Structures are given as structure tokens and as C-alpha cells.
Amino acid sequence: MAWIRVVDEEDADGELKIAYGRVKTTRGTVANIFRVQSLDPRSLQAHLDLYLSLMFGGGKLSRQQRELIAVVVSAENDCHYCVEHHSKALGRYVKDEEFIAKLVANPREAPLEPKERAMVDYALALTSDSHSLTREAVEGLRRVGMSDEEILQLNLVASYFNFVNRIANGLGVSLEEEQSSYRY
């Protein structure tokens, strides 16, 4: 499951039991990415709140666009855990497995419409070369019709997946054996 000790659901009590209950209620099951934070229930709760806000809360970006960003950032970071989860989620909106495979294999060459291409390019630059981003990167997003609210949401979703990819990769989080009850 991970390279550190993890408290199982049946052994959880107090704050952790409450946190696991919230995860299960909102997501259908306690995914390993949340379970790995069991030694710090407060961070688990904050993580869940951030995830729900960014991926399911209001905003200008569609769920499909959010999942697109999740997949490309996770692919860029070689985070197998998040690529698997979010490729499945993206597949709920894009009924094209070949496209998703191309996106995972090489996000820079996947066939995308101009707005999504600009979003993906920005997310990739933020992931691999954030210090080189300039005002021009944001202006380029505006030129394809993105509002400042969309640009902020794009940045937050891409930044969130860089954070989560590092949790998964840095702690050896493995895929769940059973994912059928997880709510995408």
C-alpha cells in the first residue's frame, strides 16, 4: 500500500475515524491516497476539502477539463497512481480510449482543440518548468478565450496534482485492488 505505516479503517478511532467516514461518504471508499495520510488526520481532512473544492466545486472549468489537467500533470510526473485514477475519471467524459492513451503517452502531442492545448501546455510548463513562466503564458491563455477565473482554476488544479503526485510517488502509494465503488 505504501512505504510508511498506514492505519486501516477497522483500526481507526477518534479524528481518523471521522476523517475516514467523511472520505467514504463523499468518495464511496477510502482511496489509498487518503489512507496514506492516516497518521495525520488533520492533513487528510484538509486534503479532502481541497480535492472536493477543486475537482467538484463550482468554477468555470468543466469536470472534463479538470480531469484532462489531472491526467497530463500526473503523466508528466510519472505518477502511475493518479494517471490510473484520473484516466478512468476522464473516460467518463471522453469516450475515446485511444485519445486518453495518447494523452498519457505524450500530452504535448495529443490532438486537442486550441483552448485545451493552451491549458495543457500551461499545466505542463507549471509542472516541469514553473520558474520560467511569465506574464506571457497567462496572456496566451487569455488569447484562447480563458477568463482570469478559469486561469486561476487551471493553475490550482495543476498545482494540486503536482502536490498529490508527490505524495503518491514519494510514499509509494499503490493502486487499490478494488476501485469499483470509488466515485469519479
- Write down the pLDDT at residue 181: 64
List, in order, residues 6 or more apart from 175 with CB less than 8 Å away. 32, 80, 81, 84, 85
Q: How far apart are CA 108 and CA 130, in angstroms?
A: 16
**Four-CA torsion 38, 40, 41, 46, nearest 10 degrees:** -120
- Residue 53 corresponds to which cell in the numbers above? 473544492
Q: Output the nine-digit C-alpha cell for 132.
A: 520560467
Query: Looking at residue 62, what is its pLDDT?
Result: 97
Instruction: Say how many C-beta atoms besides its own lie within 10 A of residue 95's C-beta.
Output: 8
Q: What pLDDT was estimated at residue 59? A: 94
Distance set, CA 49 to CA 52, 56, 62, 74, 136 (Å): 5, 10, 19, 20, 32
pLDDT of 179? 63
Q: Return averaged pLDDT per consecutive 10 residues of the chain, 184 residues in all.
A: 96 97 94 97 97 96 98 98 96 96 96 97 97 96 98 98 98 86 69
Q: What's the predicted TM-score (pTM) here?
A: 0.96
Question: What pLDDT was estimated at residue 177?
Answer: 84
Place of cell 504535448: 108
